[in-house]
Amino acid sequence: MNFKGKTAVVTGASSGIGKEVALSLASKGCEVCCLDINDEGLKVAEQITSQGFRACFYHVDLTIEDDVNSSIEDILIKKNKIDILVHSAGISTKCNLKDLTLDTWNKTININLTSTFLITKAVSRVMIDQNYGRIVIISSGSAITGTGGGPHYAASKAGQIGLTRSLSNELAKHNITVNAIGPRSIDTPLLDKLYGEDYKKDVIKRIPLGRMGTAKDVSELVIFLVSDESSFITGQFILVDGGRTFSN
């Protein structure tokens, strides 16, 4: 798949899945704008440019509407278009309902779900004017199993799927596809912070394919869904979980 001449916005590009997507898209000729609250994304953009590809970094808190809108406006001024949006930014914390505070609930919904609304709204305006776009939202298998840290996380991730289906209907007439991916048990810093090494040894026993997933496993599907080759696929939610979710 060739992405020469395309421009992508990748959120959560400083770490894990988003970082891998940014590196992979760039290596295929796509110009990548990395958005993250963590300035490690600057190094990701530098790594891409040092390899002879094109990238830039924006420090953005994706829960702040003005910051989201101003970064997208600046990208539009400088790059003139946005073909692809991959929204990978997110957080997960472990908590049961009885201990869940409104503060943790609001923070999780804001970062995982409200950010999805803000970034898709800002980018889709540009895509509608171009009559072209590919949007991929990184949700979670937890959206359908109700796991992954707790009810706040599962609810935020399920909300992303509802948003994906709704946007896919609304934006189809503008030649914009919108799909969601449900990773599960992907070995990234998020999983390390949440569970640690012992969890990995244990969870592998519940994964039919017998290993943890990698950010690359997820990015391979992202690449297909943001390519021209996937032009008749929209409104879908696809698991990348080694078979875990529907195993016996």
Q: Does 92 bind ligand NAD (CB under 6 A)?
A: yes
- Residue ranges in 133-152 that form contacts with ligand NAD under rule CB under 6 A: 138, 140
- End-to-end Cα separation, the chain, in angstroms: 36
Among 16, 133, 150, 242, contact with ligand NAD (rule: CB under 6 A): 16
Q: Does 38 bind ligand NAD (CB under 6 A)?
A: yes
Q: Does 116 bind ligand NAD (CB under 6 A)?
A: no
What letter does residue 228 receive in the DSSP assignment?
G
- 3-class DSSP state for residue 217? helix
Q: Report in angstroms how near the CB of residue 87 gets to ligand NAD at its nearest.
A: 8
Q: Is 153 a catalytic residue?
A: yes
One-letter amino acid at 73 equals E
What are the strands of the beta sheet with 84-87, ordered from one edge?
A: 55-59, 31-36, 7-11, 84-87, 133-138, 176-183, 237-240
Q: Report in angstroms how near the CB of residue 2 gets to ligand NAD at its nearest.
A: 25
Q: Report in angstroms how near the CB of residue 234 gets to ligand NAD at its nearest.
A: 20
- 3-class DSSP state for residue 29? coil
One-letter amino acid at 85 equals L
- As separate numbers, helices (DSSP H) first and strands (DSSP E) second, the chain gives 10, 7
Among 63, 71, 179, 230, contact with ligand NAD (rule: CB under 6 A): 63
Could you list the residues that contact ligand NAD (CB under 6 A)? 12, 14-18, 36-38, 60-63, 88-92, 111, 138, 140, 183-186, 188-191
